[in-house]
Every structure is written in C-alpha cells, then in structure tokens.
Amino acid sequence: MKKMLLLPVIVTLIITLHSCDKKDSENPVITSFRIENMSNEGVVEAGTKITVETGFQDSRGLGKYELKVEGVTGGASTFKTNSFTTFSFSETFASLYRENLDFRVLDIPTNTTSGLYIATAKVFDEEGNVGDLATFHLFIVNNSTPEVSVLRPDTFDMLPIFAPGDYVEFIGSLNDNDGMTEIKVSLFKENDAPVHEQTLIFDTLPVTFYNLANLPDSVIIPLNAAPGKYRLNVSCKDIYGNYGILRYFLNVRI
C-alpha cells in the first residue's frame, strides 16, 4: 500500500518540476518603447525635457529594466572652442509587476551636442531571463546644428527606385555659420557595410557653405548591389562638434 501511495506523489513531483523548467525559459517582453509619443525615431531640442515610455510584461513577474541613451556621432573638432557636451544616460530600475508601463522624464541640457543618439531598453524577469533589446533613434538639435538641405533625390513623397549602375543626382547644400569641419555621405542597407561612402575633412579652415553638386565622388549604385531598401545618410560636423544629419531611403531593384 505504501509503495502504491508513493507513486502518485512522485509522478506529481516530476510533472511539477517539468512545468517549472518550461516557465523558466520564458523571456519578458517589451511591448512599447517611445519617446515623446514617437515610435522608432524622432527629433527633440536641447534644453527641453523628454518623456521616455517603456511598456513590458512577463508571466511570472518582472525584476528590473535598464534604460540607456548614448551618442553615436560626436567627438570634439580640432577647432572646438565652445563647451557643447554629448548627452548620456544609464540607469537600472526595479519593477515588481507582471505588466507595467513606465514613464521617465529626462532633462536634455541646453549645451547638449547635436547629432544622433541611440536610446535602448532591456528588461529582466525575476529569474534573470532577459528580453529582446528595444531601440529608438533620437536626434538632438540645438541652436548651432548645421543645416542639411537636399532637394534631390526627393524621397519624402515616395521612395525613388534605382537600378545597379544608376547615378544618384544630388541637388542641395550644407550650411553652418560657425563653420563645418567634416562632411560625410554614405549609402547602405540596414546593418550592412556601406556600398558607398565618402568623407571630406576641412582641416585648415572651416567651411560655412558647401554645394552638394561639388562632391568629389559621384554616388553610383554598385553593379553588384543587392535589391532592397537602402538608407542614404548626409551629415556634417561644425567646429563645436555638432552634427547636422539627413537620413532617408531609396529602393534598389534589378
């Protein structure tokens, strides 16, 4: 009788342990990640406060989450004479609920260097399992941000279509009253190496105006370019290390 009574207990214990192992493999999920009600990317001004919204959930219970903001473009210019500083933020917060919507208000200082910043959120559950990283491309601008004006290629109404070997005509200009020290143009598929990249360095005298028609290298879609969606970046840096950036897309079809 005792042996027969022990069998259901053992079976129940095995089922319970198996069930726990299965739950331990579940990762928490970030359900939303926005800044100032913008998704994926957006522009904010230095000297303002921004609200970061992070939504997350987990079936067992959340342990903590990390929020970071780091500058991508940056670095002092050799001509730098002003105290613009790259903004950064990194903090870990405790969260003890299965579902949560967290709001954090960050103060962007007035002297923040303009350029591209990457905001990331990562969430952990009580068992230490970690969910996928959420990212947001944040462009911070200030009163010294260089102006990037591109009229062609026009990609704001629709994505222009190019074929391998096509020439990408540039009509536009770069302006900065303080003076630019660097101009960069690059074309690439997301997460791939650039298929075209050129950098102009003005290491003797800053330039206040540049006509994009004067780029030394023509932007040509490589003959071996894979079809798909490409990002075209145009950026310039001024004497204070501020960046002006224009990013847009085009399609390559064979």
pLDDT tens digits, 132-182: 899 999 999 999 999 998 877 766 556 788 999 999 888 899 999 999 999
Q: Let me know whether 178 and 107 are in one domain.
A: no
Nearest alpha-carbon partner for 175 in 200, 137, 204, 207: 207
Q: Is 74 exposed, middle or buried (0-12, 13-18, 19+ CB in 10 A)?
A: buried
Please tell me whether residues 230 and 130 are part of one structural domain.
no
DSSP secondary structure code for residue 195 in this structure: S
Q: Which residue has the higher pLDDT, 125 or 78?
A: 125
Q: Is residue 11 part of a domain?
A: no
Q: Residue 51: give its domain's CATH number.
A: 2.60.40.2550
Note whether 135 and 184 are same-domain residues: no
The last residue of one of the domains, among 87, 120, 141, is 141
Nearest CA to 150 out of 77, 240, 219, 75 is that of 219
Q: Is residue 3 part of a domain?
A: no
Residues 129 and 153 in one domain: no
pTM exceeds 0.75, yes or no? yes
Q: Could you give the CA distance from residue 189 to residue 68 in angstroms, rounded to a whole number?
A: 25
The pair of three-digit structure tokens given for residue 253, joined into one six-digit string: 């079809």
Band the pLDDT of 3: cuts 50, 70, 90. very low
Domain presence at residue 246: yes
- Sheet containing 38-39: give its strands across: 38-39, 29-35, 49-57, 99-107
Number of domains observed in the structure of the chain: 2
Q: Clarify whether residues 134 and 192 are in a common domain.
A: no
- Is 80 exceeded by the pLDDT of residue 7? no
Q: Structural domain of residue 241, as residue ranges?
A: 147-252
> Measured between alpha carbons, how far is 78 from 241 in angstroms, rounded to an integer?
9
Mark whether 119 and 156 lie in a shared domain: no
Identify whether 13 is part of a domain: no
Query: What is the C-alpha separation between 77 and 176, in angstroms, rounded?
Result: 14
Q: Give a yes or no: residue 5 inside a domain.
A: no
Based on the fold, state whether residues 135 and 202 are members of the same structural domain: no
Cα angle vertex 21, ends 19, 26, to 5°?
A: 100
Does residue 21 belong to any structural domain of this protein? no
Dihedral angle of Cα 109, 110, 112, 113, to the nearest 10 degrees: 170
Place of tokens 């068992």: 127
* Residues 235, 141 contacting (CB under 8 angstroms): no
* Same-domain status, 189 and 223: yes
- Average pLDDT, stretch 178-206? 90
Claim to verify: residue 137 and residue 153 sit in the same structural domain: no
> Which among 116, 141, 166 is the end of a domain?
141
Q: Which of 141, 165, 185 is the last residue of a domain?
A: 141
Measured between alpha carbons, how far is 74 from 240 in angstroms, rounded to an integer?
10
Query: What integer pLDDT is reported at residue 191 of this predicted model?
Result: 79
Rounded Cα distance, 118 and 242, in Å: 16
